[in-house]
């Protein structure tokens, strides 16, 4: 019985009607549970939605814990390790906001509302594309981490230059420029990503020159990981399709032999 439960909650659309129905049920529950966050006011229907969806999430969490040995393949040790896995943590965080239903005096209501957004991460479990993308990110993590390190270093250096080169007050308009180092970090980050909101602008020649360099460097920083991810993603898709064709050919040969 436990093996059948595992198949229903894990195999999804490839496991038959029951597995597909369970996957659709969970997808609908995840999406519906986010609806109350789109409204500033509370409504009785929202409480009903919260109770029903959280109940489904709790049942799903317990079922996955109950069949953890099939998923991890580590025997009885699986039941101790499962709550520490990434998906289990996401599932648990999706359930925690329900504490506001049990205690109206719960002080961290806003944090509880924000935790509900984590439920959207549960959608990744049912997306084949996200699974492929996660493989790509793991495969290219060294390159991506290197690019991230370069970007962080450049942001820090640029912020230091701007904070020390720019006056605290624009001598022409009298407006504040970079009041503290965090303002400089904020400016360097949005400039590196080529966003540039315009709420902070350099007023010295040195600052404007650094701003131009930061914008040009930002284009390269964004383009590099995008190209790496795209190339690796296409390679992963080709590998997946080749594997599927080989499996289909193997099944065809087996049926012919029979």
Residue pointed to by tokens 């390159």: 143
Q: What is the pLDDT of residue 13?
A: 64
Report the SS3 class of residue 176: strand
Q: State pTM to two decimals.
A: 0.59
For domain 141-257, the CATH class is mainly alpha
Q: What is the pLDDT of residue 142?
A: 86
Q: Which residues of the chain have pLDDT under 70?
A: 12-15, 99-117, 119, 128, 168-176, 196, 198, 251, 253-258
Q: What is the pLDDT of residue 254?
A: 65
Q: What is the pLDDT of residue 251?
A: 66
> Which pair of tokens denotes residue 4?
């059948």
Q: What is the pLDDT of residue 161?
A: 86
Q: Quick count: other Cβ atoms within 10 Å of Cβ 106?
A: 13
CB 94 within 8 A of CB 119: yes
Q: Which residues contact 50 (CB under 8 A, 6 or more apart)?
A: 33, 36, 97, 98, 101
Q: What is the pLDDT of residue 96?
A: 76
Sign, CA dihedral 99-103-104-109, equals negative
Residue pointed to by tokens 């109940």: 55
Q: What is the pLDDT of residue 102?
A: 47
């Amino acid at each position: 019985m436990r093996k059948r439960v595992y198949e229903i909650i894990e195999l999804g659309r490839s496991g038959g009607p029951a597995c597909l129905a369970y996957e659709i049920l969970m997808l609908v529950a995840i999406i519906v549970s986010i609806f109350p966050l789109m409204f500033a006011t509370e409504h009785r229907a929202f409480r009903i939605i919260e109770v029903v969806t959280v109940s489904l999430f709790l049942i799903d969490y317990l079922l996955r814990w109950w069949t953890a040995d099939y998923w991890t393949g580590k025997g009885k040790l699986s039941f101790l390790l499962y709550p520490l896995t990434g998906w289990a943590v996401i599932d648990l965080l999706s359930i925690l906001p329900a504490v506001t239903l049990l205690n109206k005096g719960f002080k961290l209501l806003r944090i509880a509302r924000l935790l509900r957004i984590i439920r959207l991460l549960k959608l990744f479990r049912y997306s084949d594309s996200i699974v492929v993308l996660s493989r790509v990110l793991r495969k290219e993590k060294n390159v991506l981490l290197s690019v991230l390190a370069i970007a962080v270093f450049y942001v820090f250096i640029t912020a230091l230059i701007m904070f020390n080169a720019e006056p605290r007050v624009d001598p022409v308009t009298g407006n504040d420029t970079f009041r503290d180092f965090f303002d400089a970090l904020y400016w360097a980050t949005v400039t590196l990503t080529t966003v540039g909101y315009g709420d902070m602008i350099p007023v010295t020649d040195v600052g404007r020159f650094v701003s131009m360099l930061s914008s040009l460097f930002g284009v390269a920083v964004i383009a590099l990981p995008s190209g790496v991810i795209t190339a690796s993603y296409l390679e992963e898709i080709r590998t997946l399709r080749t594997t599927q064709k080989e499996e289909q050919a193997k099944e065809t040969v087996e049926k012919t032999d029979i």
